[in-house]
Chains A and B, each alone.
Chain A
Amino acid sequence: MDLFLDGLMNALTPENLLYAVIGVLLGTAVGVLPGIGPAMTLALLFPITYTVPVDSALIMFAGIYYGGMYGGSTTSILLNTPGESSSVVTAIEGNQMAKRGRAAQALATAAIGSFVAGTIATALLVLFAPKVSSAVVQLGAPSYFAILLLALVAVSAVLGSSKMRGFIALFLGLAIALVGTSTGQARLTFGSPLLADGIDVVVVAVAIFAIGEALWVAAHLRRRPLQVIPVGRPWMDRKDWGRSWKPWLRGTAFGFPFGALPAGGAEVPTFLSYITERRLTKHPEEFGKGAIEGVAGPEAANNASAAGTMVPLLAIGLPTTATAAIMLNAIQSYGIQPGPQLFDNEPALVWTLLASLFVANTLLLVLNLPLAPIWAKLLRVPRPYLYAGILFFASLGAYSVSFEPFDLALLLVLGFLGVAMRRFGLPVLPLIVGVILGPSLENQLTQALALSGGDVSTLWSEPVAKVVYAVLVLALVAMAVAAVRGRAARRGASSVEKEEVSA
């Protein structure tokens, strides 16, 4: 505890505090722009490590990382344009809330949720990082495959009212995920090297959400009268708090372990959190129309996962995300080697970094919470201008990734897909999940089979995999039983059916 207080004192010196503020602001800014992420920002700022002391540089980098996780949610909610892959899920309920005049509440629950999750996860990090053994590296491809498979089955819970439409969307997503040469063979690239790396999930999400919606609105502009978005109240009320705190905690529980796992990432926990909230909510009718739980959970999950990635980074010098890899690089450029000895050799540095995570979190809350109602006013811009702005913003983001006009064409094509999905009532989430899960699922499967020389039994060779498969079987049995009983109940009284659905 003394060590932590020392670290806190060090993180709170005026100079370091300034670096933290710069980091948080920069992080929020890059989080807002689709196409530019925290990893790229850190890489571009890397040269400052030659001139700035190590603790200041790390404090700034931590600020950028956390800020990026948070900043992505602002545009998700306001403009339906997710800035980062980890805030794609936030757009689903967040933007609906904004359209119903609850943008301020959505932004507030995202900010407070990020703060709560980031703080709890940092505390967990303080508790676990020194003790964590190299246990995380024991998880191999078979375990990840099992976990991802479980996640894919969980998606069936959010396929929407029409299972058929849900599956169409899911398979559309999986088909988009096939594009690329990740397996060594070119698939659906049409001979173009521009498609060789596959299609980024942010591009897909921005196209389907933002471009699709802008085109849809444009197509209906003359037929429907202009709706003015109500302004609403500026702050969360009692009910919002009551509905938010549990999702924050559950989101943290999803985010932290996934962040700490080498192949975990921030995307999977966000949609697992969303799915869970949708199952557990007492207001199922609000989902898809702006349920606050659907923003609170995923936003907590992505910030918790950012803290989770620090566990393997500090404990065994293992970067699990691109951003963490650059932070590792930065630490090493000072001649400091993360790993089991780090906590003994450089206690001052480690505790300063951990304390700076708390500081970054607090700064984010202080800076962003008062801004929420101000941002929300942005939506009062007349619709034609607002959508023009969204189109500009989305195109700029897609183009800034590699300055290829091709990306804009891709954005437009996928935007038309978004229009078609709206026209035929296809749900968006299964598609996004397909795009996220498809490549990892395939990657882990091929890796597992390549390692075993094609022996399929390798898939249940790891203890974690066995447990997950057991859970999977139980879940499938439970779903089957529920389906059968649901059908029986439907034949009976309709009031019983309601209970089954909510259970």
Chain B
Amino acid sequence: MADTGQRRPARRPRRTRTATVVALVLALAATLGACGVTRGGDDPDNRRLRMMIPNSPGGGYDLTGRAAAQVMEEDDLTGRFEITNVIGASGTVAMQRLLNERGADDLVMLMGLGVVGATYTNDSAARVSKATPIARLVEEQEGLLVPADSPFKTVDDLVTAWKKDPRKVTVGGGSSPGGPDHLFPMQLAQTLGIDPKDVNYIAYDGGGPLTTALLGEKIQVGTSGLGEFQGQIDDGSLRVLAVSGDERLEGIDAPTLTESGIDLVFTNWRGLLAPPGIDDATRDYLTELVTEMHDTPEWREALKRNGWIDAFATGEEFGTFLTEQDERVDSTLKELGLS
């Protein structure tokens, strides 16, 4: 009896507390709702945009995307960027999500050559050609790396040995099939008249393991962007036989492939896409935004800091390039039976 008598008053404060909590939640919801109204507002200098990045923080796409967003925010070209890393299947998951957001006027996605390849190797219907191209931003050259005391002194040495017995030459790269480090040796083989199926490519999980394999001479040739190898190149434990762009790379003492008589220019590029079905005004707005971003000294500083090559292209030019890359990757991977 005394028990129940004591319990009753104890209950009352709890009910008032519940009421307070409910009120708080409602107030919070109201504030958030109000935020929702201002979001995507009409002032073009203060729009909130979303950016999707198709791999984990710290990766190449992530560094490029965050650098671009930072420049746009700090130069007040637009409002804040909400950056999401959508991880999965080398970018296929993010690509699918971009296509699902048909017509969304506040979304861009950073992507690049690797995402193009991934949509094929993962057998996904979410092709890059279905999205709205906004701009190509940067590119990185690939390099042909060998250990210091490799018998290959020049590209010619490699080509001779490779043509003689393609399966004897082990090539390692830091990306899985469909990624830039894989596409580069395959297209190189195609150019040289070697059947890509005969290329003995070993996929390593990024630059670290690839460095290990090269230093330990487990593979004969490595194909990769050179940024992660600067230390080993400088101290002479790795050598660069050639770089893949159409100009030599600053700070790397190696010829281009074309200089060595091989007709191939290959770059790992990165750019921005928007969802399909956006109206012209949105498309123009986004194009202008990245063009302004590209013209800032901060962006030039970011390019220099990261060793990226400026490869800016928008509109028709980027659109054509994208289609061309899509077809090229498709044909390479088809020949390998991977798409």
Complex-state Cα separation, A111 to B38, whole angstroms: 47
Are the CB atoms of A318 and B211 closer together than 8 Å? yes
Asked if residues A404 and B93 are in contact (CB atoms below 8 Å), the reply is yes
Please state if B230 and A337 are interface contacts (CB–CB under 8 Å).
Answer: yes
Name the contact of A193 in the complex, choosing from B57, B122, B209 (C-beta under 8 A): B122
Q: Which residue of A lies closest to B87 (CB)?
A: A402
Binary interface encoding of chain B residues 38-62 relative to chain A, with 1 for a CB under 8 A from any of its CBs, else 0: 0000000000000000001110001
Q: Which of B8-16, B127-135, B212-220, B313-321 contacts A (4 or more CB under 8 A)?
A: B212-220
Contacts of B177 in A (CB 8 A): 184
Interface check A232, CB cutoff 8 A: no
Whole-angstrom CA separation of A213 from B208 in the bound complex? 38
- Decide yes or no whether B7 CB sits under 8 A from chain A: no
Minimum CB distance partner of A443 in chain B: B205
Interchain CB contact under 8 A, A339 and B232: yes
Closest Cβ of chain A: how far from B211's Cβ, in Å? 6
Contact across chains for B93 and A191 when beta carbons are under 8 A apart: no
Interface size range of chain A in the complex = 35 or more
Question: Residue of B at shortest CB range from A139?
Answer: B216
Q: Interface-forming stretch among A21-29, A42-50, A214-222, A364-372? A: A42-50
Q: Are B208 and A193 in contact (CB under 8 A)?
A: no
Q: Specify which chain A residues have a CB less than 8 angstroms from the CB of B70 in the assembled complex.
A: 47
Is A14's beta carbon under 8 Å from chain B?
Answer: no
A210 CB, nearest partner CB in chain B, Å = 22
8 Å CB contacts to B: which residues of A417-463?
Answer: 447, 450-451, 453
Cross-chain contact B62 with A402 (CB below 8 angstroms): no
Closest to B220 in A: A451
Nearest A-chain residue to B66, judged by Cβ: A47
Which residues on the B side are within 8 Å of A39 (C-beta)?
56-58
**Contact present for A137 and B212 (CB under 8 Å):** yes
Q: In chain A, residues 386-417, which have Cβ atoms closer than 8 Å to a Cβ of chain B?
A: 401-404
Most buried by B among A46, A182, A447: A447
Contact A40 B208 (CB under 8 A): no
A373 to chain B, nearest CB (A): 28
B192 on interface, CB distance cutoff 8 Å: no
The answer to whether residues A319 and B216 also contact, given A326-B58, A401-B87 and a CB cut-off of 8 A, is: no
Q: Is the CB of A194 within 8 A of B93?
A: yes
- Decide yes or no whether A97 CB sits under 8 A from chain B: no
Q: Determine whether A502 belongs to the interface, using a CB cutoff of 8 Å to chain B.
A: no
* Selected contact of B56 from candidates A43, A320, A403, CB within 8 Å: A43
Bound complex: CA of A404 vs CA of B96, how far in Å?
12
Residues of A within 8 A of B57 (CB): 39-40, 43-44, 46
Contact in complex: A193, B89 (CB < 8 Å)? yes
Interface size on B, residues (CB 8 A): 48
Q: With the chains together, A332 CA to B305 CA distance in Å?
A: 10
The answer to the question of A140 belonging to the interface, with a C-beta cut-off of 8 Å to chain B, is yes
Contact call A324/B176, Cβ cutoff below 8 A: no
B75 interfacial by beta-carbon distance below 8 Å: no
Once A134-B215, A450-B200, A453-B167 are accepted as A-B contacts, the answer to whether A194 and B235 lie under 8 Å apart by CB is: no
In the complex, per-residue mask of A334-355: 1 if CB is within 8 Å of any chain B CB, else 0: 0001111100000000000000
Closest to A136 in B: B212
| Separation of A44 and B65 alpha carbons in the complex (Å) | 12
Q: In the complex, which residues of chain B have a beta carbon less than 8 angstroms from the beta carbon of A338?
A: 231
B190 interface contact, C-beta 8 A:
no
Q: Is the CB of B232 within 8 A of A262?
A: no
CA distance A394 to B212 in the complex (A): 36
Contact (A263, B209) CB under 8 Å given A184-B338, A193-B88, A453-B200:
yes
**Does A329 make an interface contact (CB < 8 A)?**
yes
How many A-B pairs have beta carbons closer than 8 Å: the answer is 122
Point out the residue from A138, A326, A403, A451 that lies within 8 Å of B202, measured CB to CB.
Answer: A451
Taking the nearest CB of chain A, how far is it from the CB of B173, in angstroms? 12
Chain A residue contacts of B176, Cβ below 8 A = 181-182, 184
A317 and B232 form a contact (CB under 8 A): yes
Per-residue B-contact encoding for A41-63, CB less than 8 Å = 1, 0 else = 01110110000000000000000
Complex contacts, B189 vs chain A, CB 8 Å = none
Contacts of A46 in B (CB 8 A): 57-58, 63
CA distance A450 to B85 in the complex (A): 33
In the docked arrangement, what's the CA distance between A283 and B244, Å? 63
Q: How far is the CA of A114 from the CA of B138 in the complex (A)?
A: 44
Interface residues of B in 119-162 (CB under 8 A from A): 121-124
B92 nearest CB neighbor, chain A only:
A193
- Residue of A318, A326, A333, A339 near B305 (CB, 8 A) is A333
Chain A residues, Cβ within 8 Å of B109: none
Residue of A nearest to B204 (CB): A447
Judge whether B124 and A193 touch: CB under 8 Å. Answer: yes
A87 to chain B, nearest CB (A): 20
Counting CB contacts under 8 A, is B207 at the interface? yes
Chain B residue nearest to A447 (CB atoms) is: B202
**Would you give the shortest CB distance from B237 to chain A, in whole angstroms?**
8
Taking CB as reference atom, which chain A residue is nearest B205? A443
A239 CB to closest chain B CB, in angstroms? 43
B158 CB, min distance to chain A CBs, angstroms = 17
Instruction: Decide if A194 touches B89 in the complex (CB within 8 Å).
Output: yes
Contacts of A193 in B (CB 8 A): 88-89, 92-93, 96, 122, 124
Residues on B with C-beta less than 8 A from A186 are: 122-123
Measured between C-beta atoms, what is the minimum distance from A501 to chain B in Å?
Answer: 41
Asked whether any CB of chain B lies closer than 8 Å to the CB of A169, the reply is no
Q: Is the CB of B230 within 8 A of A402?
A: no
User: With A325-B206, A402-B88 known to touch, is A181 a contact of B219 (CB < 8 Å)?
Assistant: no
Q: What's the minimum C-beta distance from A222 to chain B, rounded to whole angstroms?
A: 23
Q: With A181-B121, A194-B88, A319-B208 as given contacts, are A451 and B218 in contact (CB-CB < 8 Å)?
A: yes
Q: Which residues of A contact B234 (CB under 8 A)?
A: 337
When distances are taken between beta carbons in the complex, the residues of chain B under 8 Å from A125 are none
Chain A residues within an 8 Å CB radius of B242? none
Q: Does A149 contact B (CB under 8 A)?
A: no
For the complex, give the distance between the alpha carbons of A444 and B204 in Å: 10
Interchain CB contact under 8 A, B208 and A402: no
Q: How many Å from the CB of A117 to the closest CB on chain B?
A: 24
CA separation between A50 and B212, bound complex, in Å?
29
CB neighbours (8 Å) of B167 from chain A are: 453
> Does B208 lie within 8 Å of A197, measured CB to CB?
no
**Contact assessment for B208 and A325 in the assembled complex, using a CB-CB cutoff below 8 Å:** yes
Pick 7 A–B contacts, CB within 8 A, sort by A. Answer: A136-B212, A181-B176, A182-B176, A193-B88, A196-B89, A332-B231, A402-B87
A186-B122, A404-B86 known, 16 other contacts, Cβ within 8 Å:
A40-B58, A140-B213, A184-B121, A194-B88, A196-B122, A197-B87, A197-B89, A317-B211, A319-B208, A325-B58, A325-B208, A332-B231, A402-B93, A450-B200, A451-B200, A451-B202
- Rank and list the top 4 A-B pairs by shortest CB-CB distance, nearest first: A43-B58, A43-B57, A196-B89, A137-B216
